[in-house]
Structure 1
Amino acid sequence: MFKTILLAVDVNDPKGAERPAATALQLAGAAGAKLHIMNVVPDFGMAIVGSFFTQDHNAQIMAEAKTALETWAKALKDAPKDTVLHVDQGTIYEEVLKEAARIKADAIVVGAHKSQLKDYLIGPNAARIARHAQQSVFVVR
């Protein structure tokens, strides 16, 4: 059914990533699918904000995010040995959708947090991914 699955996680919220990871592992195992795991580092939002940081600050943040994702992924039980890790920077839902298209994912697995009032006005990343994805999306609470 699925050949390629993309799991989007926030390594800064390991507890919140547990259930989506379990779901992605179960889907990948049942289908014999290739598993990709990604973490997105939010960008600065506005160029003027980025100007307050040193030039190597971005590279340092990305390196730390990559290390954190590698550490988190190693702790997963039953993760396929050929799991591919991705760390991108930008707007979370946009980067997840770009990565899913780039790797030709058949399914995306994301976690959902408890709704807040602002989510009904702006829309959380999981909702935006589900609304705009060309693939099946599993939103795990």
Structure 2
Amino acid sequence: MYRDILLPVDLAHTGHDRPAIGQALKLAETFGAKLHVMTVLPDYGMSIVGSYFPPDFEKKGLKKADEELHAFVKRTVPEGMPVQHIVAHGTVYKEIVKAAKETGCDLIVMTPGRSAFEDFLIGPNAARVMRHAPCSVLLVRE
């Protein structure tokens, strides 16, 4: 039923993403789907904020995120499962939607957001992904 599954993870909070990770792995194994595991390095926001960082900060941040994503996949994804690593930089929900379109994913599996008061029920990124995604979105709660 699914050929390509996108699994966005927050490398700083993988414990929170654990339910979605488990579900994505089960679905990928069941359907023989390729798993696209991604993380997003958030944007600075206003360009003036970026001026306070060293010139190579973004490049180093992306390299570090890529290394951490590969280590995470090695620890988490069973050997032999087809997987693609995606490191994006920008607005989280926009990058998730963009990756889903570019990879032709037919399912995005993610958690609804951290349990902060402002994220009550569905976090802002999950809600936006659901509204703009080109495919089905499975929100997995704990």
Same fold? TM cut 0.5:
yes
Alignment of 1:6-85 (within 5 A): 6-78=6-78, 80-85=80-85
Name the amino acid aligned to 2:7. Answer: L
Gaps of 5+ in 1: none
For 1:20 and 1:79, how far apart are their aligned partners in 2?
A: 19
Q: Deviations over 1:24-48 (max 9, x none)?
A: 1111111111110000010101111
| SS class of match (2:76) | coil
RMSD value, Cα: 1.7
Gaps of 5+ in 2: none
Structure 1 stretches of 4+ with a deviation exceeding 6 A read none
Per mean C-alpha deviation after superposition, the further-off stretch among 43-52 and 105-114 is 105-114
For 2:35 and 2:77, how far apart are their aligned partners in 1?
A: 13
**Are the aligned partners of 2:2 and 2:106 in contact in 1 as well (CA < 8 Å)?**
yes
Q: CA deviation at 1:116?
A: 4.0
**Are the aligned partners of 1:42 and 1:89 in contact in 2 as well (CA < 8 Å)?**
yes
> In the superposition, relative to structure 1, how do residues 79 and 8 fare at CA in structure 2: closer, same or farther (>3 Å)?
farther
Q: CA deviation at 1:117?
A: 4.1
For 2:57 and 2:68, how far apart are their aligned partners in 1?
A: 16
For 1:77 and 1:62, how far apart are their aligned partners in 2?
A: 21
